[in-house]
Amino acid sequence: MTGIDFFDVDHTLTRRSSGGRFLATAMRRRVLPRRLLAVLPWYSLTYRLGLFRLRAYEKGFPYLRGIARTTLEQIARESFDQSLKGDLFPEAVDLLNGLRAGGRRVVLATSSLDIIVQPLAQYLHVDGLLATALEFEDGACTGRFLGMPMFRREKSERVLSFIAGLGVPARDCSFFSDSIYDLPLLEAVGTPVAVNPDFRLRRIARRRGWTIREMAAARPGRQPAGFRR
């Protein structure tokens, strides 16, 4: 059985945050209050600087409470079609396509919400998606997480449990990520790859001799091709 290649999403496959794109679309549709615009830059900055603390979000996202799942799915699709699709790094898509064409399995492993990145997973025809999940009751979001968010050690444990269930050794797997938050999983797989790494991950990758890949934004007129069958 061949190994599995795991990809983070935000800033690894996409130039911008999938969550930020989703929230912007939801605010434009007036499903969420525009006052959230004030907190997005701070969230993005603290995350990129390695200062983000999960405890601020342990109770989930109360502003999503009561919104129908179908509405959130529609917003996610619109966000992907209008924004996130154009944020894909063409080189990253080419890399993912090449791995699949070579017989490897590819799985997205992201702290982003599954409902947000599901359209991306479908577009890329990946073999699996491991992501943070929202809780729903009677078709409406409770605003709480279903289980723990896929963040730091939780992501590592979820991925390792996933591959163990398939009987695949971690040494036969790779993980592509930009973030220091993903260090536990990068250390656990056989082939860690730092993609557009933040400054702390870049320093560690250089010290340990890990592969570092720089992905450029799409050139004007070029669109990511998705998975080529």
pLDDT in tens, 122-167: 999 999 999 999 999 999 999 888 888 888 899 999 999 999 999 9
pLDDT tens digit string along 3-13?
A: 999 999 999 99
Whether residue 220 is contained in a domain is answered as no
Q: What is the CATH number of the domain that holds 74?
A: 3.40.50.1000
pLDDT top residue among 218 and 215? 215
With respect to residue 223, please indicate whether it lies within any of the assigned structural domains: no
228 located within any domain:
no
Does residue 9 sit within a domain?
yes
Query: Residue 93: is its pLDDT beyond 90?
Result: yes
Number of domains comprising the chain: 1
pLDDT, tens digit, 9 for 90 and up, residues 33-77: 665 555 555 555 555 555 555 555 556 778 889 999 999 999 999
Q: Is residue 221 part of a domain?
A: no
Going by pLDDT thresholds of 50, 70 and 90, the confidence category of residue 20 is: confident
> What is the C-alpha separation between 43 and 161, in angstroms, rounded?
29
Question: Could you tell me the residue range of the domain that residue 139 belongs to?
Answer: 4-213
- pLDDT above 90 (res 2): no
